[in-house]
Amino acid sequence: MNSKPPFTARVCFTLVLAGVTAPPITAAELPKNATPVLAAMRAELEHSTTAFKSQPQPPYFLSYEITENRRVSVSSSFGALMASTENTTRVLDIDLRVGSPALDNTRAIRGNFGGGGPTASGATSIPVEDSPEAIRATLWYQTDRRFKAATEQFTRVKTNVQVKIEEEDKSADFCAEPAHTFAEAPITFAVDRRALEARVRRFTAPFSAHKNIYSADASITLGVETRWYANTEGTLVQTSQPTCRIVVSAVTKADDGMVLPRTETYFAFRLEQLPTDAQVLADVKKMIADLESLRTAPIVDPYTGPAILSGRAAGVFFHEVFGHRIEGHRQKRAEEGQTFKKMLGQKLLPETFTVYCDPARPKYGTTELGGHYLYDNQGVKAQRVPLIESGVFTGFLMARIPIDGFPKSNGHGRKAIGASVVSRQSNLIVETTKPVSPAVLKEELRKLVVEQKKPYGLLFDDIQGGFAITGRTSPNAFNVQPIMVYRIFPDGREELVRGADFIGTPLSAFSKIAAADDTPGIFNGVCGAESGWVPVSAVSPSLLLSQVEVQKKEKSQERLPILTAPAGKS
């Protein structure tokens, strides 16, 4: 973990906003390594808050966040280059709050479709040059616009509160947090784009020899996200995080029209930490073999019975079934199912299980974790959050949106550019104190098959992704979408099948977890929710569930290609 001691600023003067004493705003000093961008944000924050004092109802809180993305991306298809780009963008997000922490302009307007919620910040492009004058000009004008919009919205909020029934959760709309000053030097990188182009061509070239593969794509994306954050509490944060990702994907179709994808994703913080070409090409060879086998594999029938989720599949399972339902803001919204809201202190899993989120952790073992960050999008320091300890549910992931019993953030306020912050997952980690070997886990599966008088059990070996429904207007369910699924027979025989979706409801699924192995799997991906797409990781051992439910996967009605494959495809 790359961390530095916080900088302690000297007190210069104190601002008073809406009757609330704000912490010191220090214009004379900035943290070591701070760039002119952070200085310009600091200066305009001082200017804006001073000017707002003349308004009848000035903001009680104001923050600026500028996000710079420097990115190189190359992609290929069937051995040929598709795109090669390099670009830099900077975008401004503003959080301006009118009213008071108890009630402000971000309060959900009840009765709206979807229940309303915090108003999106409406990101604005900002100069990519470190020009204080140009940056401050954009900050000044956009702050004025946001203030006018927030004032109008607060009027609607107050009216809505008066005409609707009393809310069940009476907690405030916002919470104060300690000020942080931290700045790491912006990371620079130089990339040989021609070398990347050659690599990405090599990754998709083997697919071109196979007539049953209809699309084959690969991409290499290298980037650095530098983020500057400043608020009226005195927080000044500057972070710079590199990311490197390789994605290889291919698609075939079975004779009955079912679309069958296979994807491999590789994540690291540095280019040299990504796998070698030989490693990727070995995986490509396996992908081709898997796709050919899937084409002729039998379709799985609807099924209930025991199953094993491999580590990566189990990680996605926990992300969807549990992780989304313990995001704090969902416990406050009337339209949410609030599955675990009243279950604090209750046993959810066997006592051998522990679950936590830890964005401050950059890797698990030797594998980098994509959900790592130092400070969240509200300037709160990343911290480990216990969620289940010895099988007992202990807490929620919190942004600066309080809920009953949880008045403070725990560093999980996250968003994509242009969205409003809500509580989101980071690195979700599942551990057990009594693991067994993978061989023993399979043996336990076969025993359950015999005990339950089932013809076979299932092994979910690899997954596409998944989704969760957390609201009240639809069944409170989940869908984990495996792609490599095997029938495991009592005699140990294994058979590849296709077309299975693992479905269920969270409380029922959790009650079926019986054991875990000693080989954690790691899923690095991105998660989409109301605050946009954010990088996440899920770590879990393989799990044995005494019962799962499987439904048939959606199937395309399109016929296979009428035209024969071109020369070169066998």
Among 313, 279, 290, 306, smallest CA distance to 519 is for 313
pLDDT at 458 over 60: yes
pLDDT digits (tens, 9 = 90+) for 85-132: 999 999 999 999 999 999 999 998 877 544 444 445 568 999 999 999
Report the range out of 38-42, 332-336, 498-502 with the highest average pLDDT: 38-42
Predicted confidence at residue 113, as pLDDT, reads 44
352 burial via Cβ count (<10 Å: 0-12, 13-18, 19+): middle
| pLDDT beyond 80 at 555 | no
Tokens 């961390």 — which residue?
3
Alpha carbons within 13 A on the beta-carbon side of 70: 14
The pLDDT, as a whole number, for residue 561 is 81
Alpha-carbon gap, residue 184 to 129, rounded angstroms: 19
| 3-class SS of residue 275 | coil
Query: Are 200 and 432 within 8 A, CB to CB?
Result: no
**pLDDT mean over 289-316:** 94
pLDDT of 505 above 90: no
Question: What is the separation of C-alpha 486 from the centre of its chain, rounded to a whole number of angstroms?
Answer: 29
- More confidently predicted of 215 and 570: 215
Question: What is the share, in percent, of the chain residues with pLDDT greater than 90?
Answer: 76
User: pLDDT for 409-422, tens place per residue?
Assistant: 999 999 999 999 99
Domains of the chain as residue ranges with CATH: 16-242 (3.30.2290), 303-552 (no CATH)
Write down the pLDDT at residue 162: 85
Mean pLDDT score, 211-223: 96
Q: Sheet of 392-393: strands edge to edge?
A: 392-393, 385-389, 353-357, 427-432, 532-540, 521-529
Does the pLDDT of residue 28 top 60, yes or no? no
Q: Report the SS3 class of residue 517.
A: strand
pLDDT, greater one: 290 or 470: 290
For residues 474 and 337, give the distance between their C-alpha atoms in angstroms, rounded to a whole number.
9
Please provide residue 376's backbone torsions phi and psi, each rounded to the nearest 5 degrees. -80, -175
Which residues, 6 or more positions from 163, have their beta carbon under 8 angstroms from its beta carbon?
A: none
Residue 262: band (very low, low, confident or very high) from pLDDT cuts 50, 70, 90: very high
Q: What is the pTM of this model?
A: 0.89
pLDDT > 60? residue 17: no
Q: What is the pLDDT of residue 18?
A: 34
**What is the 8-class DSSP label of residue 148?**
H
Check residue 207 and give its pLDDT: 97
* pLDDT exceeds cutoff 90 at 363: yes
Tell me the average pLDDT of the chain: 89
Distances from the Cα of 320 to the Cα of 265, 355, 521, angstroms:
19, 14, 16
| Predicted confidence (pLDDT) per residue in 147-204, tens digit | 999 999 999 999 988 887 777 778 999 999 999 999 999 998 889 999 999 999 999 9
| CA-CA-CA-CA torsion sign (556, 529, 243, 65) | positive
Q: Name the range with the highest mean pLDDT among 6-20, 31-45, 554-568.
A: 31-45
Cα separation, 297 vs 260, in Å, equals 11
CB 415 within 8 A of CB 378: no
Cα–Cα distance, 538 to 404 (Å, whole number): 28
228-252 exposure pattern, b = at least 16 Cβ within 10 A, e = fewer: bbbbbbbbbbbbbbbbbbbbbbbbb
Distance of CA 143 to the CA centre of its chain: 29
CB-based contacts of 304: which residues, under 8 Å, 6+ apart? 547, 548, 549, 550
What end-to-end distance do the CA atoms of the chain give, in Å? 49
Nearest-angstrom CA–CA distance, 316 and 526: 11
Q: How far is CA 220 from CA 80, 132, 346, in A?
A: 14, 34, 45
Per-position DSSP letters for 519-545, written without gaps between them: --EEEEEEEEETTEEEEEEEEE--EEE
